[in-house]
Amino acid sequence: MNATTLRALADSNRLKIVELLLSGPLTVGEIVDRLGLHQPQVSKHLRVLSDAGLVEAEPSANRRIYRLRPEPLRELEDWVGSFKRIWDDHLDRLDDYLRELQTPE
Amino acid sequence: MNATTLRALADSNRLKIVELLLSGPLTVGEIVDRLGLHQPQVSKHLRVLSDAGLVEAEPSANRRIYRLRPEPLRELEDWVGSFKRIWDDHLDRLDDYLRELQTPE
DNA sequence: TATATATATTCTTGTAAAGGAATATTCATA
DNA sequence: TATGAATATTCCTTTACAAGAATATATATA
CATH number for the domain that contains residue B52: 1.10.10.10
pTM of the model: 0.88
Contacts of residues B4-7 at CB distance under 8 Å and 24 or more positions apart, as own/partner, are: B4/B52, B5/B52, B5/B53, B5/B54, B5/B72, B5/B75, B5/B76, B6/A6, B6/A9, B6/A10, B6/A15, B6/B76, B7/A10, B7/A11, B7/B52
The whole domain housing A54 covers 3-102
Total domains, chain B: 1
What angle is formed at CA B18 by the lines to CA B67 and CA B79, rounded to 5 degrees?
Answer: 100
Q: Which amino acid is at A81?
A: G
- d(CA B101, C1' C21) / Å: 64
pLDDT band for position B99 (cuts 50, 70, 90): low
Of A15, A25, A91, the CB nearest to B1: A15
B60: pLDDT strictly greater than 90: yes
Q: Which nucleotide lies at the shortest CA–C1' distance from A29?
A: C6
A105: pLDDT strictly greater than 50: no
**Inter-chain CB proximity B15 and A24 less than 8 Å:** no
Q: Å from A27 to nearest chain B CA?
A: 11
- d(CA B95, C1' D25) / Å: 27
A21 and A35 in contact (C-beta within 8 Å)?
no
CA distance A90 to A76: 25
pLDDT band for position B100 (cuts 50, 70, 90): low
Q: What is the pLDDT of residues A15-62, one digit of tens each?
A: 999 999 999 999 999 999 999 999 999 999 999 999 999 999 999 999
Q: What's residue B105's pLDDT?
A: 38
